[in-house]
Amino acid sequence: MKRLLVAALLIASLSGCTNSDIARNQMSKESENNFGVMRTVTAYSSTGEEIGQWHGKIDVQYKYDSSSGGTANGRVDLVVFDGNTPIDRIIISGAIVVIDND
């Protein structure tokens, strides 16, 4: 009976989790625990011009304006690491951000 209950709870907790969700969660945890993940981040203006590009061990966090329903006025908060030491923090707002995991 205990095994059936444990199995049912496990299945219920994993329902709705796709392979993509699991991989996304693992990468997020890796970034948090290992001071970022090797990435190239490029920001573009709304007209397609490159504003900036950063490469290295970067932790990415997405922030959304809750007053707009989380769809507008979003920003991307980057922390660039040198080993375990944060060396730069970049906040990108009003741009198109492309993140490539190396």
Would you say residue 80 has pLDDT above 80? yes
Q: Once rounded to an integer, what is the mean pLDDT over residues 89-96?
A: 92
Residues 6+ apart with CB under 8 A from 43: 50, 51, 52, 53, 76, 92, 95, 96, 97, 98
Residue 72 has pLDDT above 60, yes or no: no
What does the domain layout of the chain look like in residue ranges?
Answer: 2-101
pLDDT in the model for residue 68: 56
More confident site: 44 or 11? 44
CA nearest neighbour of 41 among 74, 73, 72, 80: 80
